[in-house]
Amino acid sequence: MKILVTGGAGFIASHVVDMCLSQGYEVAVVDNLSTGRRSNLNPAAKLYEVDLRSPELMAVFEKERPDFVDHHAAQVDVRRSVADPLFDADVNVRGTINLLECARRAEVKKFIYISTGGAVYGEPEYLPCDEKHPINPICPYGASKHTAEHYLYMYRVNFGLNYTVLRYSNVYGPRQNPHGEAGVVAIFAGQMVAGQPVRINGDGEQLRDYVYVGDCARANVLALAAETTGAIYNVATGRGTSVNEIFRLLKDVTGYPQDAAHGPAKVGETRHIYLDVRKAQADLGWQPQVSLEEGLRRVVEHMQTAE
């Protein structure tokens, strides 16, 4: 069985590629390498350097004839989405529609779509947020990712495309870019390992649900094999952790001697959020296995041994 993974040279999807290969899938990757890295990509996977929005995408489907699509490629930076909402929508909505058209024409058996549990719900009306929580995103990124979920539903109703949505919380782990705008764990760890100052936006009491990347990869493999269709699952830990606590834990792991500075809070960021994962546990047999302390240790070890 063959799976096409979009964004497969990126942080999260490269781990999905590794796990799919370990489970015996053939893997083809579509990635324009705007944020992905060739060094992340498993050499057993075939890479097509094609933009998600390109008309050339259909040629990849015609050549590879994938049984499954796992769609991770996206504009994922909340702050960039606020600064440039047209670009965000172009990649996340138009790019996904182009991919759906290719999947429909190629008669793909199942489509796994990666959405965001950290941004689609907005400021929670209750915690933890389950999949039935109202959708009220407060940033363009959350709005664009959720818009694509509506297109998935339409493609199932109109064309019979089988799909599953995975709404990730805040994913962290090895290969996350410490120099990017997204990923407080990678940014803080990178700064600490380099002995640089660390700045926390706002008071640091923002709560996020930090889930380890390997646990996310396992959720994708389970979703591929599941018989459910049109299902939506949170992929998270069910626990909120403050940014200040992340700083303290990483400080302990790295032996970082400095205190953090505090800057202004960022526009479009949710104050407190963590997700209910009981549906994924019940339907997919999935639950997080890597503790936050162990995951942070792996991140730091990866940074200390990376080139």
Residues 6+ apart with CB under 8 A from 252: none
Tell me the C-alpha distance between 197 and 200, whole Å.
10
Tokens of 251: 């400080």
Using the predicted structure, report yes or no on whether residue 173 has a pLDDT greater than 90. yes
Supply the residues annotated as catalytic.
141
Place of tokens 């339409």: 154
pLDDT of 268:
64
Domain spanning 173-207+239-276+290-305: CATH superfamily: UDP-galactose 4-epimerase, domain 1 (3.90.25.10)
* Average of per-residue pLDDT across 123-149: 96
Domain range list for the chain: 2-171+211-236+278-284, 173-207+239-276+290-305
Cα–Cα distance, 230 to 167 (Å, whole number): 13
What fold does the segment set 2-171+211-236+278-284 form as a domain?
Rossmann fold (3.40.50)
Q: Are 284 and 165 in contact (CB under 8 A)?
A: no
Spatial separation of the C-alpha atoms in residues 3 and 6, rounded to whole Å = 10
**Each residue of 246-295: pLDDT tens digit?**
999 999 999 999 999 999 988 767 789 999 999 999 999 999 999 999 99
pLDDT band at 77 (very low <50, low <70, confident <90, very high): confident
Q: Determine the average pLDDT of the residues in 80-96.
A: 96
